[in-house]
Amino acid sequence: MSAQGAVNQVIPYHPNLIESLKRDEGFRKFPYRCPAGKLTIGYGFNLDDEGIDEDIADFWLIYKVKKFEAELAKNFPTYRVLDAARQDVLCNMAYNLGISRFMGFRQMLAAIERNDYVTAAKEMLNSSWAQQVGFRAQRLAHIM
């Protein structure tokens, strides 16, 4: 059963449990060591012993992609009019780099605004980012 399926089955039967656990565990945005020395995050999620379920990782990934899409549309309005493949390339880069570092690709962004995708791809590859991520950059540049 998926984590979401389990949650849907538990919440209707124990509506106060979730609020009780939130109160007792407390929310921590960043990882910390609990009193037992375990790396923990959120509402007492033990990363050392339990890790995270793939369902949770998928949810988190989709959530972050949506945030990056909104940030790209806000910070680079041309993003909205690009085809889906090029939007995916930019979102992939922003996800990897963070929005601030992504916005530092000024020459690439200027080339995209001119619809000069060959130059945009060259600018992607002419960066320390491309050296760091290797084939990922080559693949994304090819799509661009």
Percent of the chain with pLDDT over 90: 85
According to DSSP, residue 19 is labeled H
H-state helical runs in the chain: 3-10, 15-25, 47-50, 54-75, 84-97, 99-103, 106-113, 117-125, 128-133, 135-143
123 with 111: CB under 8 angstroms?
A: yes
- Whether 34 and 81 map to the same domain: the answer is no
Q: Which amino acid is at 72?
A: L
Domain that holds residue 15: 3-51
- Whether 43 and 62 map to the same domain: the answer is no
- Whether 42 and 78 map to the same domain: the answer is no
Give the CATH number of the domain where residue 90 resides.
1.10.530.40
- Whether 14 and 71 map to the same domain: the answer is no
> Which residues lie below 8 Å from residue 55, measured CB to CB, with a gap of 6+?
2, 3, 4
- Whether 65 and 94 map to the same domain: the answer is yes
Burial class (CB in 10 A: 0-12, 13-18, 19+), 23: exposed
- Whether 59 and 121 map to the same domain: the answer is yes
Tell me the pLDDT of the chain (144 aa) as tens digits. 455 555 555 556 677 888 898 999 999 999 999 999 999 999 999 999 999 999 999 999 999 999 999 999 999 999 999 999 999 999 999 999 999 999 999 999 999 999 999 999 999 999 999 999 999 999 999 999
Q: How many domains in the chain?
A: 2
pLDDT digits (tens, 9 = 90+) for 40-69: 999 999 999 999 999 999 999 999 999 999
- Whether 137 and 70 map to the same domain: the answer is yes
85 with 113: CB under 8 angstroms?
A: no
Which two structure tokens, joined as six digits, stand for 58? 């998928």
The predicted pLDDT at position 11 comes to 54
- Whether 139 and 84 map to the same domain: the answer is yes
- Whether 45 and 61 map to the same domain: the answer is no
CA neighbor of 107 nearest in space, from 93, 91, 120, 116: 120
The predicted pLDDT at position 134 comes to 96
The predicted pLDDT at position 15 comes to 72
Q: At what angle do helices 135-143 and 84-97 cross, to 10 degrees?
A: 150
- Whether 65 and 90 map to the same domain: the answer is yes
> Which residues lie below 8 Å from residue 99, measured CB to CB, with a gap of 6+?
68, 71, 72, 75
- Whether 31 and 69 map to the same domain: the answer is no
- Whether 127 and 62 map to the same domain: the answer is yes
